Amino acid sequence: MTRLENKETEWRIVPNESWKPVVAEYKERIAQIRLLDPSCHTFSDKTFSDVDTKAPFSPSVDNKTISILNRLRLFGASTTFVAIIVAQTICDLWESGMFILIPLNIRFLFESWARVHFAKDIINKLANTQDIDKAEERVERLTFGTRYEITLPWGGKSKDIKPIHINDCLRTLKDVYPAYQATYDFLSESSHPSFFENSYFMLAGPPLANWNNQSFKESMKPKLEKCFLIFETCIAGIIKDSSNLTSAYATVYDTLSNEVNPRESVNPGRPFVIK
């Protein structure tokens, strides 16, 4: 472990680099995450090519169903873009041994995935119930709901829109990630300055690297592996769910476009099927 040294009555921390071999073990997996830079042509083609840059992020004159799906696909694409940027930050932190900030940033990604999956759940329920008003209310809460008054981009203050609680979003993950609650608890405990779990991450990187301590090493290595696996799972989940949101929009838009111009329609929506 990093030691204290007395040099001419002045105590100072003498760091070691025992964390660097641990980081090196993740070199190839980090490289794979690096490929998901938003500016990467392949990634952009897969995720954003079908997103209209002028797509409204608020209720519009569109057919209600189209408006809902348009907002959700833009929400998914925006969340994916931000998630990939955060992922690059996580890689930077990992490579520099700043493990103490890793769980907090991965929890951000986990919550982002839960919110995109919740958006997918809105579409699934809309397909099953045809309750367009309920779907619109959930979209409004997901995209505009706030617990604290904020300034809206188009002017005015947010108010009177209750947000979707993150726990409600997390619960929708149970169909694809049953361990969602245990994972969220682990990330939360590791993120908060609650001393015990958080201390492991503090002692994992410089200047207090403790990897020469065998007992610490045996406890900490599984924690880091768990973090990176969650990291990879979140990124894959966000990209997949965001793609599904775009596909759902395209399916419904094509169906309606064969019969009526949705931008001129006053029809509140029609039944649809997501294949």
pLDDT in tens, 75-93: 998 999 999 999 999 999 9
Question: Residues near 186 by Cβ (< 8 Å), separated by ≥ 6?
Answer: 103, 197, 226
Give 180-183's long-range contacts (Cβ < 8 A, gap of 24+): 180/114, 183/110, 183/230
CA–CA separation, 27 and 45 (whole Å): 26
pLDDT at 234 (0 to 100)? 97
pLDDT at 129 (0 to 100)? 82
Structural domain includes residue 48: no
pLDDT at 13 (0 to 100)? 56
CA–CA separation, 22 and 20 (whole Å): 5
Q: How many CB atoms lie within 10 A of CB 106?
A: 25
Yes or no: say if 144 and 94 are a contact pair by the CB < 8 Å rule. Answer: no
- Total tally of structural domains belonging to the chain: 1
Structural domain includes residue 40: no
pLDDT at 33 (0 to 100)? 94
Structural domain includes residue 2: no
Yes or no: say if 15 and 207 are a contact pair by the CB < 8 Å rule. Answer: yes
Number of residues in the chain: 275
Q: Count Cβ atoms within 10 A of the Cβ of residue 35 and give its class: 0-12 exposed, 13-18 middle, 19 or more buried.
A: exposed
CA–CA separation, 42 and 166 (whole Å): 31
Structural domain includes residue 158: yes
Residue with the two structure tokens 């509140």: 268
Query: In which domain, by residue range, is 118 found?
Result: 57-257
pTM for this model (two decimals): 0.81
CA–CA separation, 97 and 201 (whole Å): 10
Structural domain includes residue 86: yes
Structural domain includes residue 21: no
Structural domain includes residue 45: no
pLDDT at 203 (0 to 100)? 92
pLDDT at 158 (0 to 100)? 76
pLDDT at 131 (0 to 100)? 86
- The dihedral through the CA atoms of 60, 164, 91, 178 has a sign that is negative
Structural domain includes residue 210: yes
In 3D, which of 16, 11, 24, 12 has the Cα closest to residue 224?
A: 24
pLDDT at 260 (0 to 100)? 43
How far, CA to CA in Å, does 182 sit from each of 90, 121, 155, 170, 230? Answer: 21, 21, 40, 11, 12
Listed as ranges, residues in the chain with pLDDT below 50 are 1-2, 41-59, 61, 259-275
